[in-house]
Each structure stands twice: as structure tokens, then as C-alpha cells.
């Protein structure tokens, strides 16, 4: 009888030790092997959780080998089935099953340099569009005075014309994004955007302004789904959250820059008179349209990336609707949560300047110097934090865990909705900055959750549905709801109370529905 540890036993291949008689010493008891496997998994996970922060997005390290391993369904770091703490190559053990079809062929991701360049251009595009959208809220008063617009007409321009176009176009464009060349669509959209800004600058009637705002709403509905879809095909899931957050940084910086530069430019042009025969607000619109030429040439360096995580090559509209219904327990509460979050954010973004002018007696030139930096800082740090916390949630709780940080951030917005009742402008600025920080994080996490949990064939449709919910029931009706609540409470003097009564409950409802979405994602 051969003893355990003899030469023949040691020379046997690992996992093929010779059998011993019944009742003898076992080579590796089953309980010990399970404990060893758990231990090596923990050590491997600790090794995998490394400092993949913002600098990691911009490093030029060649990860083509790990990308190829992910594409072929194998992991680069796994433990040996019997030796604790021992790491072996990707060829020794497969990854856990993917939520998408296992037989789908996943092409390689683009080289890091091309991916970084594409994200930079898309972030600049988000900056450009956000800047132009914020300018309208600053320029609406001089537009009203020169063209003789009524408050009802201003409401149509600010909310109805833009918001309805933004929402109605989102789902058809989202469906088109799943099938067509997204970079070409963004190029055409940028041309339409520049033309609409020029038409606004030269408008002499309400009809021209409405048509321009409708066109701007359609392009805005294209930007977010197309950019998120492209970024999702540039980076693998473990780097996707950070890359998506960079697009959010561009949008946030554009919002703050629009307030800062627009306010100073309006005051400066008002002192020095018309520029090239144009009134100040018209000259600012022309300058904004001209800046789009730089982005137009930048888009030429971006190539359409290969689509990742596909189950089939194409889907009919009926198949796309059926596939979306499969994910209803995740998508439906997520869309409702993002809707309530958007309403709470609209309370801060839309009504902050009017509150400063009405309740605190400040002019745009007086608060633009600090409101712009507050919006920039809140949006940028919120977008960056949203990407990092989304990735942390993915590591801790899988693809469903991405949603959990959004629930926490939404709950934190509820008490901050009292910002309009702050006793001083300092408290106003702090609370508003925190709302913008948490709101930007929620917006990024929601988009990342869709890109991680929804297959590529219906990803643009899902993001388009999110844009539709946010635009039609958030952008178009949120500001109006606060105005109606203010009138019901007693008039313009109650605007701060109306913002609090609308914003705080919406933030709490958003947190609740994010939890429901996380549970729905776990079922898939």
C-alpha cells in the first residue's frame, strides 16, 4: 500500500493523486478545498481592486491582452483550484457567466489612445451643448424686452417647445442609435445645432424662436444616448463608469461656464453697446454658434467603434420592444427614479437665478461670479464621484450594485431642497452646490446602470426612454409645477417654499425607486 506523500503520489498530476484505502488519510478533504477556494478568491479580488481612478483612464498602458481575454470569455486573474493565493493565467478557468448571450462574438475594444481621443471629443460636445442651453436662461430677459414677448411665450420657449421636442424625439432617435452610425448622427446634429443658434440670433418673431428651440430639443435628445452608446463600446465594463463620468464632467463644466461667461459677456456688451450691429444677446448667440466649428472638425477624428455585448446582429421594432419588456423590473423603476431625480434637479438649476434676483435682490452680474464656479464644481465633482461610486457598487454588488449609490445620493438631496429658504447667500451656495453634486452623480450612475445591464441592441432605446421620461415629465413640467405651487401658496414671495415642497418629496421617491431598480437588476 502506497503512503500519502510518497514519490509516486508527489509525481502524480495535480488533482489526480492515487486513491487510498477506505478510511485512510484523504488527500484534500472537500471542506478544506472549499475553504481554500474561498480564501484564494478573496486574495484575487483584493488584487483586482486596484487604483483605477481618473489617471487610469488617461494612461497609455497596453491592455490589449486583457481585453482579448475578456472578449473570449476568460479572466486574467483566477486562483488555482487547490492552492490558496496562487494566481494562474486566464487559460486555466473561465469567467462567471455573462448576462448577455454566450454565443455572441465580441470584437476587440479600440486602442486606448483612440478611446481617450473619442471620449475627449464627446466630452467637449457635451460642454458645448450644455453651455448653450444655460445661456438661454440668462438671455431670456433681454430677448423678452427687445421682441416684446409675454410670460406665456417665454414659458413656451423655455419649457414646452424645447422640452416636448427633447422628449418626443428621444425614443425614435434612441432606436436609430441602436442601428445607424452614431458618429455621423452626432455630426449632423451638431450642424443642426449651430444653424438653430444662428436662427435664434437673427430671429424677429416668435415663430422663428419656437422652430429654433424645437430643433435644439431634438439635437439634445440625440446627444446623451449617442454619446453614452459610443462610450460603452470604447471601454470594457470595469472602465466604463469612469469613462462615462468624463462626459458628465464636460456637461457640468459647460453649465457653469455658461453662467459665468454669459453673465460677464452680457454685462460687458451692455456697457459698450451693440457688436457688429447686433444687440448683446444676439451677439452672444452668434459667438456660441461659431464655436461649434471647432467641434465639427474634431468629430472627424472619431471613428465609429465596433458594437460590444451584442446578442444578435439586428432587431426589428417588435423584437426590441419584446426585449425591453424582459428588463421591465429593472428599467421601469429606474426610469421613474431618474424622472423624480430630474424634477428635484430642475428645481435647483432652473429656479436658482430667479430666487437670487427676487429673494436676495442680486443682479446676474453680481451672482454670476460665484454661481458659475459653484455649478462647475458641483457638476464636475458629482460626475467624477458618480463614476467612481458606480464602479465601487459594481465591484461590491455586481451589475445590480451600480444603482445603490444613486439611492443614497437621492436621499441626500431631500434636505438640501431647502436651499431657496437659506438665510444667507453663503448657505444658499453651499446647499445648491451639494444638490448639483449629488444630482450629477445620480445622472451618471443611471446612464452607467443602463449600459451595464441592457444589451447593445436596445441600449440606445433604453437611454432614449430615460431621456423621454426626464424631458416630458421633468424638464417640460417640473418648472411649471413649481410655478403653480408658488401661485397656490401665495405668489412670487413663496417661490422658495414651493421649491422645497416639490424638490424634497421627489428626491425621496427617487431614492425609493432606485432601490426597486436594484432589486429588479438582481433578478436578471
Per residue in 97-149, pLDDT (tens digit) is: 445 544 445 567 888 888 889 999 999 998 998 888 888 777 877 888 888 87
84, pLDDT greater than 60: no
- pLDDT confidence band for 7 (50 / 70 / 90): very low
Which 3-state string (H, E, C) describes 133-144?
A: HHHHHHHHHHHH
Query: Is residue 516's pLDDT more than 60?
Result: yes
Residues 6 or more apart whose CB falls under 8 angstroms from that of 62 comprise 112
Query: pLDDT tier at 93 (50, 70, 90 boundaries)?
Result: very low
pLDDT score of 513: 95
Contact indicator for 242, 447 with CB cutoff of 8 Å? no
Residue 60 has pLDDT above 50, yes or no: no
Segment 510-517 shows an average pLDDT of 94
Does the pLDDT value for residue 366 go beyond 60?
Answer: yes
Non-local CB neighbours of 51 within 8 Å, separated by 6+ positions: none
**Would you state the pLDDT for residue 517?**
92
CA-CA distance, 175 to 1, in Å (whole number)? 71
> How many whole angstroms separate alpha carbon 37 and alpha carbon 86?
10
Higher pLDDT, 71 or 326: 326
Instruction: Say which residue, 299 or 49, is predicted with more confidence.
Output: 299
Highest mean pLDDT among 69-73, 79-83, 310-314: 310-314
8-state DSSP, 202? T
- Model confidence at 22, in pLDDT bands (50, 70, 90)? very low
Cβ-Cβ contacts under 8 Å for 240 (sequence gap 6 or more): 231, 232, 448, 451, 452
Please report, for the chain, the start and end positions of each structural domain, with discontinuous segments joined by +: 112-304+323-523
In three state form, how does the secondary structure of 309-325 look? CCCCCCCCHHHHHHHHH
**74 φ, ψ to 5°?**
-120, 155
Can you read off the three cell numbers belonging to residue 178? 441602436
Quickly count: other Cβ atoms within 10 Å of residue 187's Cβ: 15
- Residue identified by cell 451656495 is 429
Distance CA 376, CA 210 (A): 29
How deeply is 14 buried, as exposed, middle or buried, from its count of CB atoms within 10 A (0-12, 13-18, 19+)? exposed
Cell numbers given for 167: 422628449
Residue 334 in this model has a pLDDT that exceeds 90:
yes
C-alpha cell read off for 96: 462567471
Nearest 10 degrees: Cα torsion 350, 353, 355, 361:
-170
* Averaged pLDDT for residues 452-456: 83
Contact 243, 258 (CB under 8 A): no
Residue 308 C-alpha cell reads as 460590444
At residue 52, φ and ψ (nearest 5 deg) are: -100, 60
pLDDT digits (tens, 9 = 90+) for 443-452: 889 888 888 8
Q: What is the mean pLDDT of the segment spanning 491-506?
A: 85
**DSSP alpha helices (H): ranges in 24-83?**
30-48, 54-57, 64-71
**Predicted pLDDT of residue 67:** 37
439 close to 374: Cβ distance less than 8 angstroms = no
SS3 assignment, position 398: coil
pLDDT at 344: 87
Burial class (CB in 10 A: 0-12, 13-18, 19+), 296: middle
> Residue 317 — pLDDT band, cuts 50, 70, 90?
low
The pLDDT mean for the chain works out to: 75
Rounded Cα–Cα distance for residues 502 and 495 (Å): 11
pLDDT at 139: 82
User: pLDDT at position 455, please?
Assistant: 82
Residue closest to 37 by CA, chosen among 90, 77, 85: 85
Calculate mean pLDDT across residues 59-79. Answer: 37
Give the per-residue pLDDT at 274: 64
Contact status, residue 471 vs residue 170, Cβ threshold 8 Å: yes
Q: What is the DSSP string of 170-193?
A: HHHHHHHHTTS-HHHHHHHHHHHH
- 3-class secondary structure, 82: coil
| CA atoms of 223 and 245, how far apart (whole Å) | 15
Among 171-175, 330-334, 414-418, the minimum mean pLDDT is found in: 171-175
Decide if domain 112-304+323-523 falls under CATH 3.30.200.20: no
- Backbone phi, psi, residue 275, to 5°: -110, 120
For residues 474 and 258, the model is more confident at: 258
- Judged against a pLDDT cut of 90, whether residue 237 lies above it is answered with no
Burial 114-150 (b: 16+ CB within 10 A, else e): ebbbbbbbbbbbbbbbbbbbbbbbbbbbbbbeeeebe
Residue 512 reports pLDDT greater than 90: yes
What's the distance, CA 310 to chain centroid?
A: 21
For the question of whether the overall pTM of this predicted structure is more than 0.75, the answer is no
DSSP sequence for 105-154: PPPPPPPHHHHHHHHHHHHHHHHHHHHHHHHHHHHHHHHHHHHT--HHHH
Q: Please report the sign of the dihedral spanned by the C-alpha atoms of residue 412, residue 414, residue 415, residue 418.
A: positive
Nearest of 132, 335, 392 to residue 251 by alpha carbon:
132
Closest CA to 61 of 115, 106, 123, 107: 115
pLDDT at 475 (0 to 100)? 66
More confident residue, 118 or 346: 118
Mean pLDDT of 243-267: 81
| pLDDT-derived band at 313, boundaries 50, 70, 90 | low
Report which of residues 196 and 265 the model is more confident about.
196
pLDDT tops 70 at residue 71: no
Amino acid at each position: 500500500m502506497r503512503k500519502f506523500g510518497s514519490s509516486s503520489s508527489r509525481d502524480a498530476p495535480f488533482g489526480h493523486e492515487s486513491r487510498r484505502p477506505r478510511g485512510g488519510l484523504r488527500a484534500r478533504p472537500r471542506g478544506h478545498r472549499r475553504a481554500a477556494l474561498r480564501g484564494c478568491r478573496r486574495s484575487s479580488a483584493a488584487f483586482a481592486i486596484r487604483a483605477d481612478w481618473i489617471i487610469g483612464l488617461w494612461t497609455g498602458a497596453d491592455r490589449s491582452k486583457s481585453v482579448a481575454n475578456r472578449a473570449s470569455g476568460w479572466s486574467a486573474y483566477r486562483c488555482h483550484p487547490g492552492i490558496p493565493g496562487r494566481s494562474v493565467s486566464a487559460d486555466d478557468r473561465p469567467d462567471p457567466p455573462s448576462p448577455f448571450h454566450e454565443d455572441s462574438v465580441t470584437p476587440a475594444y479600440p486602442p486606448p489612445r483612440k478611446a481617450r481621443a473619442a471620449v475627449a471629443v464627446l466630452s467637449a460636445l457635451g460642454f458645448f451643448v450644455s453651455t448653450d442651453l444655460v445661456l438661454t436662461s440668462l438671455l431670456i430677459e433681454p430677448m423678452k424686452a427687445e421682441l416684446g414677448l409675454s410670460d406665456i411665450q417665454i414659458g413656451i420657449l423655455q419649457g414646452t417647445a424645447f422640452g416636448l421636442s427633447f422628449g418626443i424625439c428621444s425614443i425614435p432617435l434612441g432606436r436609430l442609435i441602436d442601428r445607424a452610425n452614431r458618429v455621423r448622427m452626432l455630426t449632423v446634429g451638431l450642424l443642426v445645432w449651430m444653424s438653430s443658434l444662428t436662427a435664434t440670433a437673427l430671429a424677429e418673431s416668435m415663430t422663428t424662436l419656437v422652430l429654433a428651440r424645437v430643433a435644439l430639443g431634438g439635437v439634445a435628445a440625440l446627444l446623451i444616448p449617442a454619446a453614452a452608446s459610443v462610450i460603452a463600446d470604447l471601454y470594457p465594463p470595469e472602465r466604463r463608469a469612469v469613462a462615462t463620468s468624463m462626459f458628465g464632467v464636460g456637461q457640468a463644466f459647460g453649465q457653469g461656464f455658461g453662467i459665468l461667461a454669459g453673465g460677464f459677456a452680457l454685462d460687458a456688451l451692455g456697457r459698450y453697446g451693440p457688436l457688429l450691429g447686433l444687440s448683446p444677446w444676439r451677439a452672444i448667440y452668434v459667438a456660441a454658434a461659431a464655436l461649434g466649428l471647432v467641434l465639427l472638425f474634431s468629430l472627424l477624428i472619431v471613428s465609429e467603434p465596433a458594437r460590444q455585448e451584442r446578442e444578435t446582429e439586428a432587431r426589428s421594432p417588435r423584437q426590441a420592444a419584446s426585449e425591453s419588456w424582459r428588463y421591465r423590473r429593472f428599467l421601469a423603476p429606474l426610469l421613474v427614479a431618474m424622472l423624480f431625480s430630474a424634477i428635484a434637479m430642475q428645481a435647483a438649476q432652473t429656479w436658482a437665478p430667479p430666487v437670487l434676483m427676487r429673494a436676495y435682490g442680486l443682479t446676474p452680474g453680481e451672482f454670476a461670479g460665484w454661481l458659475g464656479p459653484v455649478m462647475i464644481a458641483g457638476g464636475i465633482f458629482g460626475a467624477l464621484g458618480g463614476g467612481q461610486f458606480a464602479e465601487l457598487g459594481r465591484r461590491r454588488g455586481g451589475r445590480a450594485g451600480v444603482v445603490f449609490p444613486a439611492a443614497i445620493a437621492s436621499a441626500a438631496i431631500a434636505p438640501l431642497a431647502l436651499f431657496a429658504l437659506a438665510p444667507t447667500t453663503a448657505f444658499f451656495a453651499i446647499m445648491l452646490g451639494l444638490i448639483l453634486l449629488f444630482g450629477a452623480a445620480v445622472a451618471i450612475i443611471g446612464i452607467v446602470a443602463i449600459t451595464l445591464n441592457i444589451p447593445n441592441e436596445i441600449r440606445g432605446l433604453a437611454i432614449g426612454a430615460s431621456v423621454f421620461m426626464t424631458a416630458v415629465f421633468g424638464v417640460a413640467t417640473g418648472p411649471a409645477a413649481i410655478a403653480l405651487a408658488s401661485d397656490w401658496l401665495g405668489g412670487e414671495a413663496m417661490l422658495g417654499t414651493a421649491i422645497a415642497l416639490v424638490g424634497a418629496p421627489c428626491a425621496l421617491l427617487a431614492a425609493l425607486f432606485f432601490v426597486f431598480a436594484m432589486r429588479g437588476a438582481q433578478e436578471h
